[in-house]
Structure 1
Amino acid sequence: MTSASKTRKAVAATVLAAASTLGSAMAVAAKPTVILVHGAFAESSSWNGVAARLIDQGYPVIAAANPLRGVANDAKYVSDLIEHTPGPIVLVGHSYGGSVITNAVKGSSKVKALVYVAAFAPDIGESAATLAGKFPGGTLGPTLAEPVQLSDGNEDLYIQRDKFAEQFASDVPPAEAALMAATQRPITAAALNEESLDNAWKYVPSWFVYGTGDKNIPEAALKFMADRAGSQKTVSIPGASHVVMTSYPAEVAALISEAAEATNK
């Protein structure tokens, strides 16, 4: 082999090694996609404060439009998002959205972390309704409006507008809470009573954040679910309402970021 050939071969080997190193570094540095799943009586914009902070940190973010029709139905919708989203993925659920993400993983290796934000983390056979009623303190029932009868025989549930702020978003500025009441998304009564078919928190690491002033899901129930799931970290915010992601976006975004960073370790 000539000297020139040896030189070319050495250069090529160096370039390949550098490319491999760069590729490995990029793989390590790549941030997971965060999929945010809202719950009942909320909608995607309830995540705006959290999403803005995560985007500023370089995370790809998808705020899913949860159909709120039923656990299996809604989980299938999120599963389709997972299938068409490059991994790794951090799934985040608020309230009923926790039941959805628990059933949406379906063993996907893309999902590296679950973050429950004032959310249900049901075991197989449990529903949001049974978990909410497991401990005293929840006051959602009396604040619900007369159900809207649907043509398929189901019922859509809303919170009465004049009771929305106090029940759902007591720590949100009044003007913002009024807007949230006007844009609230209804959930079917069947969805709240539908039993979970999975318990993804048993095989995917989980993180929990909630407020002690939550009137939809009693604090004791939230703590019970976090402890049962073996939460990697649980953040309890004194006095925070059910929409803790809206009233304390910095704290919620920080926990999501912590969960995301753990996926690269």
Structure 2
Amino acid sequence: MSRTGRPTVVLVHGAFADASVFSRVIPELIARGLNVTAPAVPNRGLLGDSAHIALIVRETDGPVVLVGHSYGGAVITVAGSEDNVRALVYVAGYALDECESLMDMQSGFAASDLVGALVHTPVPVDDSTAQGTDVTVEIDRFPSVFAADVAPRIAAVLAVSQRPLAVQALTEKAPTAAWKTKPSWGLVATADRAISPEVQRYGYQRAGMTIVEVASSHLVMLAHPESVIELIEEAVRATTR
């Protein structure tokens, strides 16, 4: 819940990570007088994950600025339709269109280094004998693919503490695209080896977003937090009082 009536910034992490990737952004946003929440995303599927974030947004008192990194961009594309969402901020993220999945969007572009670094692991589904599949990133390749300009000690911790992504999250289609009705901003990480900068740029341009480009790896919020903070503040100023 918002405690002061000020805007709440909801930070939505992506695949293979948790909310700790925003650890350099959160203190600065709080210091600037903003309410902040950084929930855990289940990473089980686009529809369920976006419903989970939408519930958090609905229970937040006052205006919300939704920030999505990576796969989290796809999540806020759907969850951002909630009435109290004032703005969307994409950070090296997927800005899907209606009836589009991550694989659909990615199919028009050359594969990034991430594709060859994925590890597929069978996992049980609920209490049944059925099996699903989770994907993670090879531990030895995580730093170079995700975090080339992040402190090596931090990258090493992130590599061994990944939050797996269910394969179905790659194929579920977005039922709506909130950027069609909500003001949106997008940050392109131009040295990204996980999501091609071309994919990011295409989605942002298609949506008519305000776009900034930063020479950064995929984890731009850890490598260049000031750029992410400035973009969030711009979205807050433009859309809330």
Which residue is 1:246 aligned to? 222
Find the aligned partners of 2:97 and 2:144 in 1 and give their Cα distance. 30
The structure with more radius of gyration? 1
Q: Structure 2 counterpart of 1:204, which letter?
A: K
Q: Structure 1 counterpart of 2:123, which letter?
A: Q
Is the CA contact (8 Å cut-off) linking 1:31 and 1:260 kept in structure 2? no
Find the aligned partners of 2:124 and 2:218 in 1 and give their Cα distance. 27
Find the aligned partners of 2:70 and 2:27 in 1 and give their Cα distance. 20
Which residue is 1:65 aligned to? 40
Matched residue count: 234
User: Quick check: 1:146 aligned with 2:120?
Assistant: yes
Write 1 or 2 for the structure with the bigger share of helix.
1
Overall identity of the aligned pairs, in %: 40
Find the aligned partners of 2:111 and 2:224 in 1 and give their Cα distance. 22
* Aligned-partner SS, 1:262: helix
* Aligned-partner SS, 1:154: strand
Equivalent residues in 2 for 1:203-214 (5 A)? 203-214=181-192
Find the aligned partners of 2:191 and 2:107 in 1 and give their Cα distance. 16
Write 1 or 2 for the structure with the bigger share of strand.
2
Which residue is 1:105 aligned to? 80
* Aligned-partner SS, 1:156: strand
Find the aligned partners of 2:163 and 2:220 in 1 and give their Cα distance. 17
Which residue is 1:77 aligned to? 52
Q: Superposition RMSD on alpha carbons, in Å?
A: 1.4
- The CA deviation string for residues 169-220 of structure 1, in whole angstroms up to 9 with x for no partner, is 1111111100011111000011011111111000000000121111121111
Structure 1's consecutive aligned runs of 4 or more residues displaced over 4 angstroms after TM superposition are none
Q: Structure 2 counterpart of 1:112, which letter?
A: R
Is 201-210 or 151-160 further displaced after alignment?
151-160
Is the CA contact (8 Å cut-off) linking 1:137 and 1:215 kept in structure 2? no
What residue ranges of structure 2 are gaps of 5+ in the alignment? none
Give the TM-score taking structure 1 as reference length.
0.85
Q: How much has 1:100 moved relative to structure 2?
A: 0.7
* Aligned-partner SS, 2:186: strand
Choose from 130, 139, 146 the match for 1:168.
Answer: 146
* Aligned-partner SS, 1:180: helix
- The CA deviation string for residues 202-258 of structure 1, in whole angstroms up to 9 with x for no partner, is 000000012111112111111111111111x211112x1111111111110110011
What residue ranges of structure 1 are gaps of 5+ in the alignment? 1-28
Q: How much has 1:161 moved relative to structure 2?
A: 0.4
- The CA deviation string for residues 20-43 of structure 1, in whole angstroms up to 9 with x for no partner, is xxxxxxxxx953100000000111
Find the aligned partners of 1:191 and 1:221 in 2 and give their Cα distance. 17
* Aligned-partner SS, 2:38: strand
Give the TM-score taking structure 2 as reference length.
0.93
